[in-house]
Amino acid sequence: MALRLSRLRHVITPPRAFAAGAGLLIAAGQAPLGFWPVALIGLTMAAISWRMALTPKQAALRGWLVGLATFLISLSWIVNPFLVEPWRHGWMIPFALFFMAGGLALFWALAFFLAKRLKTGLPGLAAFWGLMELARGHVFTGFPWAMPGYIWLDTPIAQVSAFIGPYALTALSFAYAALLAHVVLRRSRRVAALAVVCFIATWIGGAYRLSQPMPPDAAHNIRVVQPNAPQHLKWDPDYIPVFYNRALDLTAPDASEAPADLVIWPETSVAAPLYAAGPYLREIAEVAAPARAVVGLNRVDGMQGYNSAIHLDEAGQVIESYDKHHLVPFGEYMPLPWLLERIGLRAFTAQNGYGYSAGPGPELFDTGALGQALPLICYEAIFPRDLRTEARPDWLLQMTNDAWFGKFSGPQQALAQARFRAIEAGLPMVRAANTGVSALINARGEVLAQIPLGSSGAFTAPLPGKLTETPYMQLKEAPVWALLILLVIAGWAGTRRGPGRKTD
């Protein structure tokens, strides 16, 4: 075994380039590419790189390089907000991208370090790697963007998320990689057979869920409006009326289309704050009638501002409002504002100042015959835990402004995560995006209607039916904890069988 590892180390030197290359392949599995076989190869290469590290410090460095390469590519869209006003913020692009990617990569470095330090073997690496992805989704409010489990989106395996959730699906992906790495390093037919059986079993399980009949669509229609306001013009006084009138023109369905029961505009699609928006809201209601409308705008209460969704009746009066509660650090609020103001840093998505205040938490909109909707404003849809409410909703409503994210990977990855939320909850999702991709998603994560990225338009469609409450929504993160414990036990058991019988 030692001789074989020595030869393999020689073949794939330099090891740091090997680790970075693994990260590049992992990133290829994320939207819009979605090359899951390439990403699985990358995950396997990362596990091999860990196995070949001689010390915990060496393992940590390789884990960090894997993560750095993965997040540099997956999060490359993060430069786009700095390009809205490049003369003011452009200088921060390299710092933002590298600090974000390098900071997230520290989670993976810690996973690689702990697995090597505690001698848990390849199964233990999968466990600690999965644990760090769970931590990445929660520490400092969390940022679970580009989880490796998302590589399975357009395969039946994505449906497994309805049972175990995205964090457990990510840990399962690491377990696949650990098995494949063992096969490469040991040429074990028994482990190769186990890997094939596990992969086929999850594929078949997901395919079975896809084969089950869907509940009928609702007898009521939703109309989604996408005005397509580029971010650099969105708040320009000369263009605000242009985008507003465009959205207003799109609100009324064509004569050939079925009438809608609810019209949805995207996040901050009304430029005026709520206290000054009365004439606009009445005009929106008049055009949308007899349908009700949900629109996004800013709400001011004293010295506090909120990013809000407003539910209007047929006369344009506010029935319900929801204030976004899960805010974007550095985007919608500034930690330590008194300090960061000294170097000219202000929140991006709030127009000026230090940003928004957080609302009290998830709330449901009573949309009449369409049932109870859970509003999610932009960033909130990347967090599985933000879907949990005391009463189960009938559908999910995401209102977003993806113009900040550019026209390539950012909006596509946001759509991919929205599709996963629908799978996990067993609920349809209606996604209204300013510049796209607006979409109607069924409870299995399938896109039934959409408006392309970077174009204006609207669609009217019946609301898809909901499935029964999924095991994941009932069990929460219990499945991922159970899987992580099993992987650690398997790793320790394998390393204690003696050098001639190790299973890692």
Q: Which residues are catalytic?
A: 267, 324, 378
Six token digits for residue 74: 């997956």
CA–CA separation, 483 and 172 (whole Å): 8
Closest CA to 104 of 150, 80, 58, 73: 73
CA–CA separation, 245 and 232 (whole Å): 18
Q: Residue 495's CB: how many other CB atoms inside 10 A?
A: 19
**Environment class of 440 (CB within 10 Å of its CB; exposed 0-12, middle 13-18, buried 19+):** buried
CA contacts within 13 A on the Cβ side of 480: 26
Residue with tokens 């796209």: 436
CB 426 within 8 A of CB 384: no
Angle at 258 between CA 255 and CA 261, to 5 degrees: 120
Q: Strand 365-366 to strand 318-323: parallel, antiparallel, or no bridges (unpaired)?
A: unpaired
CB 413 within 8 A of CB 435: no
CB 171 within 8 A of CB 483: yes
Six token digits for residue 441: 């998603």
Closest CA to 136 of 382, 407, 450: 382
